[in-house]
Chain A
Amino acid sequence: MKFRLYLVLILFLTTSIGLAQQDALEISGTYNEVIFSDFVRDVEDQIPVRFQYHPKMVDSLYITGSFEERSINDVLKTIFQGSDINFLLAEDNRIILTRNIMIRTSLPINFFDRTETDNGASDYLIFDFEQETEEEIKSISTLENTVFEIGNKSIITHTNNASIEGYITDTDTGEPIIGALIFIENPRIGVASDQFGYYSLTIPKGKQELKLQSMGYKDTKRQVILYNDGKLNIEMEEDIIPLKEVVIESERDLNITGMQMGLNKLDMQSLKKVPPVMGEVDVLRIALTLPGVQTVGEAANGFHVRGGSADQNLVLFHEAPIYNPTHFFGFFSSFNPDVIKSVDLYKGSIPANYGGRISSVLDVQTKEGNNKNFVGSGGISPVTARLALEGPILRDKASYIVGGRSTYSDWILKRMPNADLNNSSAYFYDIFGKLSFNLNDKNSIYVGGYYSKDRFSFNSDTLYGYSNTSASFQWKHIFNNKLYGVLSGIYSNYSYDINSEKNEVNAFDLNYAIDNYIAKLDFSYFPASKHKIDFGISSIYYEIQPGILRPKGERSLIIPETVEMEQGIESAIYFGDVYDINPFFSVYLGLRYSMFNCLGPQTVNIYAENQPLEEENITGVREYGERENIKTYHGPEIRFSAKYELGSESSLKLGYNRTRQYIHMLSNTTSISPTDIWVLSDYYIKPQIGDQISIGYFKNFKNNTIESSIEIYYKHIDNMLDFKNGALLLLNDHIETEIVNGTGRSYGVEFLMKKKVGKLNGWMSYTYSRALIKADSEFPEESINNGEYFPATYDKPHNFNILSNFKFSRRVSISGYITYSTGRPITYPVAKYYYGNSARLHYSDRNQFRIPDYFRFDLSLNLEGNHKIKKLNHSSWTFAIYNVTGRDNAYSIYFVSEDGVVNGYKLSVFANAIPTVTYNFRF
């Protein structure tokens, strides 16, 4: 109530003069979709006014709202808010309605002056409702009840549909809201806002109620009358009490109505509820709680989606591909949680606009700076500290966000009693910055940059370092209501170096680097209510420096060695259309055509015909010149999905997609090591091709508060790369001799059940899945396990997760996470023998034994500061215990020959319960 008075006050102030005499003209009444003429009658009954208007002007205007003793000015203003109807309240208590034919966003500058001169008096007040900026009208309920007229009524078209476009933004920060669902109920038509908060919705003309839903925001709605194509920007209010937050939340109903299958959306609010490890909220770690996502172990770098290998995930951070998304060998992800807006993980049904990796897309979207106020956030945990600052450069027009994170582990290490540790060093940091410019209604520009760095050494012998660098530029242009395009230029680099100075004769420095230069043009087109079309082109120029070895220091005898650079261009063109055949049945058809050119200069080894690719079979070389095409690979990638709704609470979805991958990581270690190399497809290395078919049944219970789903998938991968036994991958200029072509096969069923509201919320999932690889060749050197299918290192058939959050009060909540999975396969010795004064082991077939099963229970307690909105500093404490039961889960089982005998060991990375405290703040 208070708020409303305040609002009224503002209106008075802004509309200034001459209102005193009308103060008595107050009306009361509650109207629910009352036609305008009835409203007029009611008002004329209450107060001595007379309306003058052309009936046609208001024929489709309905009034909804509740007013209590409010001045007629005020009421009319509310009613006509956002419409193109103006009114004049004349001295003789006549109310004259006029209409601007043009859709106007603001009054001409001299509007008032002109009116006054024209009339020669100030007796008439002219209200223009678009004069007030939106933040002055904060009453959401008023906005929800206002009927907005959209489109130029005077243009007569013969179509039944028209489109509305606009941006959905956060009321407080002005930040765009990604993935907000905007829809009408009948017929059921809806879209989600894109990465810029932009939406375009084509719906039948006439009166419509637009409903909006988004994670972490209060549901809202808008009443519109749609005459023609037009514009409506909508602000959504953040849910001030986010403690009820669910961990993984797709938009309500979207579970049923959305096209996507195998998509998980995560927002930062939810992520913060998952018990952290080492006090850090970690995107990648959360991804591992999702069904279908596996890791080989606790501290393992990389993840595996639906039986794919770790290099088959496209990790995008602010649009740029990131090759090593972790710090500290996988203990932390290299993304500062304070600058992350949301995370989408596509496990199946990958839309046609993504390409280049087979198994999944992990799209980490960054926040846009607050364009209204300066704010900051950060946190301090036992190992790291982080800070992010954001604010407007030019209010509502331009904003910035910068975030940084670093560890003081080096400082901690130096204080360790263990000399192994205090001779060691390990540090990392990452910084991210982004500028957003809304140049005008049609053009926006985004510029971002990112750098992450890791450096570590053990016992001061060899020093390792790696870094990710990226920069991106995006220009978004809206052509019209139905078409917009984004032009992007992206640079991404991953590099590492290893150096050692201990023995000056052997002191060396080794460098490896991948450079990506990406140009992309993406369009979204909304031709009619039943279609949403995306299309575009992209091109990536790759440059890989596979290794440069240099002597370090003057006395070093190391021979400088450089493995030839690899170059290639990956180009793609794509088209995708979501077609709503009827309100229940929709299909998505996407086609991507990709092509890869492996380019010179390069020396290609020629091997004897009908012989395995072995070093001794090299018969010669062929030199390719600068930019000369060495080999071209190309092919279509079909992306298809279909959804059929079986009533309002369940649906059936089907998907098929093919993906092609032209860059491959080679690793002969179990988990990704920071020194693994990536290679491009070349004369010998063929692109990997993945086909996945999946089917899912989605059902909601209890008024959509409980969601459940079953998804079944089968995936086949051609030309999956595996390494030969004893492969040497670093500094190898005939890498094709170290690898074999395999065939991957994986399948599984994923059950998921979520409860999204209530004091107790959370979800549980069970996955049964297998991931198998076969490498068969006529040559025994190129076969693994005699050409039979064998389990991949990440094949963990049973996987069970429960994550739940219990809210004691608005400020206190507790979260628990339980996970169980089958132990991963390892290569196990089959015999022992004595050789060279020592017992040795003989290993045979790969991955025929499993380490013990994995189980872990984590707990965390979140204490929020008080929720006064005006409080300057919002803080929260998180007390977490990782691995509460202290179970010593096996990371690996291994054997070593020591003093002549073989000993078997089990290595546990976290064998104890690990408590941490994190302090987070916002200001």
Chain B
Amino acid sequence: MLIKKIGHSIAFLLILSSCIYPFDPPSEDYENLLVVEAFLSDGDEAFEVKLSRSIPINTDGRIPEENAQISISDNIGNIFDLYEEEPGKYLTSSDFLAYANRIYQLHIQTSDGEEYASDSVFLRETPPIDSVFYKYEERTTGEFGVIVPGLQIYLTTHDSNNETWYYRWDFEETWEFRSYFRSDQIWDNGIVREREEQIHLCWKSDESTRVLVSTSKNLGEDIISEFPVRYISNSTDRLRSKYSILVKQYALSEQSYNYWKEMEKVNENLGTLFDPQPSVIKGNIHNIHDENDVALGYFDAASVQEQRIFIKRGEYPYFVIPDPFADCEQADTIVGYFLVPEMILRGYEFVGAVPAESGGFGGYRLASLPCVDCTIFGINVKPDFWD
């Protein structure tokens, strides 16, 4: 909390000569470990556990851990088994219900016979979020110190019972965007027809990737004030039209708070002159026969509170948000009827008929696919929550 990114700035500060270069890491002493992603919330939603294996650091891709036996038990003697819905993804069946203020434990037996158990975890009740709001703020980015405008989204919450103290959040953001060209027609083997589904207006969603945790433990009251959840600058198109963010709040135990804090420290806050030494992040899932075999991950349980806000262009002070599709202006072509199949073969997408300057039919416009079809980047069905 206290020492943030001193390093980068200080380094620049002297002669502007510090540099950060990409580094392609060799893989050293690869350790193949079980990774458990398991979060239990109350209610009747199925409880999902994802199992995978760790991979060498210079590779990519999730290796699912298949054919494991997973069960979850509570402190009043209920045991529920999970089934494998898809490789590495396990779910409880529909009769499963979880309750706040009960204690749960996860049990995993992998296909090679190793047995893992989590610590017992209390399903906490999470207080509701007070508010999610935003402010206009300028930031600097990159080495050259370009000042960019943007919106900072904050969250304020509290627990009037003074019982929670530790919080974690994640969010899902969704925004509306339009393709550069609006195409209402389709080229169907020489016949121009109206499109059955629009590909001009789309919605895209993204989930938070950073660790968002905070504590009010050093305050006299259980209040989190103006926790910065997300900063959106004009370097993305998220704010070009309409944007929505759904913030979810989870109460944490002190132990799980420490887990996430370590995760943040070791994985997100390095690169300063005063880096802490990265180290093992201790989870709460252990091999019951081998002390040294610790699964990666933390089994946690809490009820979920959420709040969604919408941000429309025009609600905040105007600033330029560049159109990511601006290059499309140069990426279109207008051809006659007989050249259309040729252009489609070359990968162009049909936009529609364009009038000539003098009026009347001027030809057909085609443009590269991303300039026409927004479904390449998002979905063209309006989400349920969109208003």
> Footprint of B on A, CB under 8 Å?
278, 297, 299-300, 328-329, 331, 383, 409, 413, 416-421, 423-424, 426, 456, 458-459, 461-462, 464, 498, 503, 505-506, 508, 510, 549, 557-559, 561, 668-671, 673, 675, 723, 725-726, 730, 780, 793, 827-846, 848-849, 888, 891-900, 902-912, 914
Contact = CB atoms under 8 A, between A and B. Distances in A.
B27 to A, nearest CB: 8
B321 interface: no
Contact of B266 (A299, A456, A843): A843
Interface in B169-226: 170, 207-211, 216, 218-221, 223, 225-226
Contacts of B270: 892, 894-896
B161 interface: no
**Which 7 A-B residue pairs are closest in the complex by CB-CB distance?**
A418-B145, A725-B279, A831-B54, A505-B225, A673-B274, A911-B19, A904-B23
Contacts of B59: 832
B277 A827 contact: yes
Nearest to A724: B279
A471 to B, nearest CB: 30
28 contacts: A297-B273, A409-B13, A417-B144, A419-B138, A419-B139, A419-B145, A420-B140, A461-B4, A462-B2, A557-B216, A559-B218, A669-B274, A670-B274, A671-B274, A834-B37, A835-B35, A836-B209, A836-B211, A837-B207, A839-B60, A841-B266, A844-B29, A896-B270, A900-B209, A907-B20, A908-B18, A910-B17, A911-B18
Contact of B22 (A418, A726, A828, A905): A905
Interface of B: 2-25, 28-33, 35, 37, 52-57, 59-60, 62, 138-140, 144-145, 147, 170, 207-211, 216, 218-221, 223, 225-226, 258, 262-263, 265-271, 273-282, 291-292, 296-297
Contact of B9 (A328, A420, A900): A420
B9 A424 contact: yes
Nearest to A886: B17
A902 B28 CA distance: 16
A417 B145 contact: yes
A278 B14 CA distance: 9
A912 B35 contact: no
Contacts of A836: 37, 170, 209, 211, 263
A184 B271 CA distance: 59
Contacts of B210: 838, 897
Nearest to A832: B57
Contacts of B6: 329, 458, 464, 673
A831 B9 contact: no
Given A458-B5, A834-B52, A846-B277, A909 B18 contact: yes
Nearest to B270: A894
Nearest to A781: B282
Contacts of B29: 830, 844-845, 848
Nearest to A834: B62
A527 B262 CA distance: 63
Contact of A844 (B60, B221, B280): B280
B30 A831 contact: yes
Contacts of A297: 273
A461 B6 CA distance: 11
Contact of A458 (B4, B262, B280, B297): B4
Contacts of B25: 828-829, 893, 895, 904
Nearest to A330: B273
B274 A835 contact: no
A291 B20 CA distance: 30
A726 B31 contact: no
| Residue among B11, B54, B55, B273 with the highest chain A CB neighbour number at 10 A | B273
Contacts of A891: 273
Nearest to A300: B273
Contact of A668 (B145, B208, B263, B277): B277
A417 B12 CA distance: 12
Contacts of A668: 276-277
A835 B32 CA distance: 15
Contact of B267 (A456, A549, A841, A906): A841
Contact of B147 (A331, A419, A835): A419
Nearest to A412: B13
A835 B296 contact: yes
Given A419-B140, A894-B275, A905 B23 contact: yes
Contacts of B276: 668-669
A888 B21 contact: yes
A843 B25 CA distance: 14
Contacts of A900: 209
A826 to B, nearest CB: 8
A840 B275 contact: no
Contacts of B11: 299, 907, 909
B20 A669 contact: no
Given A549-B218, A898-B268, 14 more contacts: A329-B274, A668-B277, A669-B275, A726-B262, A726-B281, A780-B291, A829-B278, A831-B33, A832-B55, A843-B279, A843-B280, A846-B279, A892-B270, A906-B23
Contacts of B62: 834
Nearest to A502: B226
Contact of A892 (B28, B271, B281, B282): B271
Contacts of A793: 277
A559 B219 CA distance: 5
Contacts of A906: 20-23
B2 A888 contact: no
B21 A905 contact: yes
Nearest to B221: A557
Given A725-B279, A726-B279, A899 B54 contact: no
Contacts of A510: 2
A849 B57 CA distance: 14
B279 A832 contact: no
B279 A849 contact: no
Nearest to A297: B273
Contacts of A558: 218-220
Contact of A896 (B3, B10, B267): B267
A559 B22 CA distance: 42
| Residue among A278, A505, A893 with the highest chain B CB neighbour number at 10 A | A505
Contacts of B5: 458
A661 B28 CA distance: 37
A909 B273 CA distance: 9
Contacts of B274: 329, 669-671, 673
A413 B4 CA distance: 19
Contacts of B31: 830-831, 842, 844
Contact of B219 (A329, A505, A904): A505
Given A416-B145, A888-B19, A910-B15, A904 B24 contact: yes
Contact of B277 (A299, A669, A675, A896): A669
A458 B57 CA distance: 32
Given A557-B219, A835-B297, A896 B268 contact: yes
Contacts of B267: 838, 840-841, 895-897, 902
A36 B374 CA distance: 114
Contacts of B216: 557
Contacts of B144: 417-418
A911 B57 CA distance: 27
A647 B5 CA distance: 59
A329 to B, nearest CB: 6
Contacts of B16: 416, 418
Nearest to B55: A832
Contacts of B145: 416-421
A843 B262 CA distance: 12
A911 B218 CA distance: 41
Contacts of A780: 291-292
B296 A833 contact: yes
Given A459-B9, A829-B25, A902 B271 contact: no
B238 to A, nearest CB: 13
B3 A842 contact: no
A383 B16 CA distance: 13
A433 B32 CA distance: 62
